[in-house]
Amino acid sequence: MVRMTAFAWLGVVLVLGTPGAGAADAPQLPPGLDQLLSRPDHRAALLQAVEAVQTRPCPHATYITTGQVALLQPLKLNARGHPIAGAWKESVNVTGCDTDRVMNALTTVTPNGVLKTRPLLPGTTIAGPQLQADSVEYAAAAMGDMPAGCEQGGVVDTAYARMDGEPDGAKPPAGAVMRPWTELWTLQACSKRAVVIMHFTPDGTGTEIQATLAETPGEQMPPPSSSASR
């Protein structure tokens, strides 16, 4: 099981984007969520979650939220308008480092109204939080042995590729039944870096996970299957 290496530094600023901006068909946020997103304590927790999965210090980093918010559990408010349930995913663009990255975080609301924010995997994976957690050990196993003396590693990027039988980049419409899809996950363990092809097959009981090591870090996906996906 790989572990994330955490770094933190001072002087960084999180700039809020407009929720829902950038997508004409983005779902309308429920009442009250925009106020929660702009709360100073939540902004600080979001920045801390993003920093936690940075793989190296970057004092000149700029953090800008993408404005895209995925509601994972309905937001519920009590009679006073305070949150008592809900969960959502936010994405943050990180620039000014060696490589621009998309970082993600999950926020859940406890029954007593506390917002809990934690990091998700970076990149453009469409796997949900639990599926991400379940998949890391598969990706790590496909990567193979850690370098001698290396005790820490992590998923440093994910890239959604496509649904089976569809062109590259094609994503399932909002609310559609999930079909099998493929992603490329990049793992780093000290000096060892590997790209793992992740294939996910949802069914009525869960999601089957298959992980295959790419022969080279730049290996491309196999051509789309012409068979129908289930």
**pLDDT 10s digits, 59-80:** 888 999 998 899 999 999 999 9
pLDDT score of 20 more than 70: no
Over the Cα atoms of the chain, what is R_g?
Answer: 18
d(CA 20, CA 58): 28
d(CA 60, CA 57): 9
pLDDT at 126: 95
Q: Render pLDDT for 118-151 as a digit per residue (tens, 0 to 9).
A: 999 999 999 999 999 999 999 999 999 989 999 8
Q: Render pLDDT for 82-117 as a digit per residue (tens, 0 to 9).
A: 999 999 999 999 998 888 899 999 999 999 999 999
User: What type of residue is 8?
Assistant: A
pLDDT at 139: 96
Q: Strand, coil or helix: what is 207?
A: strand
- Mean pLDDT over 222-226 rounds to 41
Residue 92 contacts residue 104 (beta carbons within 8 Å):
yes
What are the backbone angles phi and psi of residue 137, rounded to the nearest 5°? Answer: -70, -30
pLDDT at 176: 78
3-state helix, strand, coil in the chain (%, to 5): 15, 35, 50
| Whole-number average pLDDT of the chain | 82
Residue 189 contacts residue 153 (beta carbons within 8 Å):
yes
- Comparing C-alpha atoms, which of 82, 71, 130 is closest to residue 110? 82
